[in-house]
Amino acid sequence: MTVYADNAATTQMSQTALDTIIPLLRETYGNASSIHSTGQEALKILDTARSKVAAALNAEPREIYFTSGGTESDNWAINSAAELGAKQGKKHLISSAIEHHAVLHTLNKLKKNGFEVTLLPVTNEGFVTPESLKAAIRDDTALVTIMQANNEVGTIQPIKELAAIAHERKVPFHTDAVQAVAHIPVDVKALDVDMLSLSGHKFHGPKGVGALYVRKSQKLTPFMEGGAQERSRRAGTENVPGIASMAAALEHSVNNLDANIKAVSALRDKLIAGLPGKLPKVILNGAKDGNLRLPGNVNVCFEGIEGESLLLLLDMAGIRGSSGSACTSGSLDPSHVLLALGLPHGTAHGSLRLSLGEFNTDAEIDYILEQVPPIVERLRAMSPIWEKISKS
Ligand SMILES: *Cc1c(COP(=O)(O)O)cnc(C)c1O
């Protein structure tokens, strides 16, 4: 049996997304800026996609900018706010310690260019507290950027409350909602955010396409210079088939959101409840309350073993999981997210993330539950540190 349980890294394209992109790639090759009818046909599809993405977020079509994905959207939102802030002498940025590298590395670069960055700590379940934001915000704060849901441990932040604190001090608020959009309700008006990032391949759309929502009253500096595409903010001929396919995937997910949340969280809860099995020293990372955790996220630490070895053996058994995030696997540093949650280095090394989606089945969960414990036992039997840990 092969079980794909790495949906937080990327997802398989849905039938809806495929049925949308394939004929467009073949037939709708026009440049949406051309004035002839082949171009206008592409423009119509682009406009429809923009309306669909806007509707899914409760935004207006003119507030949606298409990008190449979550990374670009995050870079753009942060760099734009930093540039606008600097013009008013505001060179302080606030974020959290558990952001995706698309956010953290952008902030690091700004730090080298003279900005001051405050990374808010999180609780041991991964929550940013409103009090810590209140204490960190200053008169020269140019942006607060905090992710809606974490890609490694699945914790869902109180975005509405955090955005309200930023707004009290007239500071714009951005959220990386790449893991949230199409998985939990995301309404830009209800959350009251100024900018929000999303990415198509995290919800069964194609890779290399995403969007940035920017509230119409929020200023936005151009990301790339060139043609007048995307309201002259993001030049370059639009990826019309990819954008339309992403919009179709998003519309489909949002239309089925309640049912998907129910089905996927049932799989998650069964996996969380069953995973320790008879194994001692298994820790669940992230939020304990299922309503404050992404429906598809399971993240556990098996003390005494290396996550990398576990992944390899699981892969041989047909189970595709991840340790930490895809971006950090390959390096021996433990995940910055697990460390921020307060886990010791050794424990953070033995982490396993299984991220589920609508395509996973109950039989697959049974298979995971049958395969994981004996593999962990085998690794522990070979582990030089397990004997000591097991007695503590
Ligand atoms: C995947 C991911 C990104 C990056 O999105 P890409 O489309 O792969 O560039 C950013 N933030 C989070 C939280 C993610 O999970």
Predicted confidence (pLDDT) per residue in 76-130, tens digit = 999 999 999 999 999 999 999 999 999 999 999 999 999 999 999 999 999 999 9
> Which atom of ligand 1 is least distant from the CA of 71?
9
Among candidate residues 327, 339, 369, 389, the one labeled active-site is 327
Residue ranges of domains in the chain: 3-11+257-390, 15-255
Distance between CA 71 and CA 176 in Å, rounded?
Answer: 9
- Kindly indicate the confidence band of residue 182, based on its pLDDT and cuts at 50, 70 and 90: very high
The answer to whether residue 327 is catalytic is yes
Is the shortest distance between the CB of 337 and ligand 1 below 6 Å? no
CA distances from 122 to 133, 152, 188, 286, 323 (A): 11, 14, 24, 11, 20
C-alpha neighbours within 13 Å on the C-beta side of residue 355: 25
Residue 322 φ/ψ, nearest 5 degrees: -150, 155
pLDDT tens figures, 209-263: 999 999 999 999 999 999 999 999 999 999 999 999 999 999 999 999 999 999 9
Residue 12 to residue 84: CA distance in whole angstroms: 38
Chain position carrying tokens 């939102």: 77
Ligand 1 centroid–CA 315 distance in Å is: 23
What are the CA-CA distances from residue 77 to residues 39, 155, 233 (Å)?
29, 22, 12
pLDDT digit string, tens, across residues 294-347: 999 999 999 999 888 999 999 999 999 998 644 444 456 789 999 999 998 878
How many A from CA of 299 to the centre of ligand 1? 18
Q: Is 357 in the pocket of ligand 1 (CB under 6 A)?
A: no
| Average pLDDT of the residues of the chain | 95
Is residue 123 within 8 Å of 96, Cβ to Cβ? no
d(CA 302, CA 292): 23
Q: How confident is the model at residue 284 (pLDDT cuts 50, 70, 90)?
A: very high
* Distance in Å, CA 390 to ligand 1 centroid: 37
Q: Return the residue whose CA atom lies nearest to atom 8 of ligand 1.
A: 70
Residue among 100, 156, 212 to mutate when testing ligand 1 (max atoms within 8 A of CB): 100
- What CATH code would you report for 3-11+257-390? 3.90.1150.10
- CATH label, 15-255, candidates 3.40.50.2300, 3.30.360.10, 3.90.1650.10, 3.40.640.10: 3.40.640.10
Answer whether 181 contacts ligand 1 (Cβ < 6 A). no
Burial class (CB in 10 A: 0-12, 13-18, 19+), 362: exposed
pLDDT of residue 331: 52
70 Cβ closer than 6 Å to some ligand 1 atom: yes
> Crossing angle for the helix pair 362-382 and 257-274, nearest 10 degrees?
30
Q: What is the pLDDT of residue 365?
A: 98
Best mutation site among 202, 246, 329, 353 for ligand 1 pocket (most ligand atoms within 8 Å of CB): 202
pLDDT band of 72, cuts 50, 70, 90: very high
Share of the chain above pLDDT 70, in %: 98
Query: Side chain identity at 109, as an amino acid letter?
Result: K
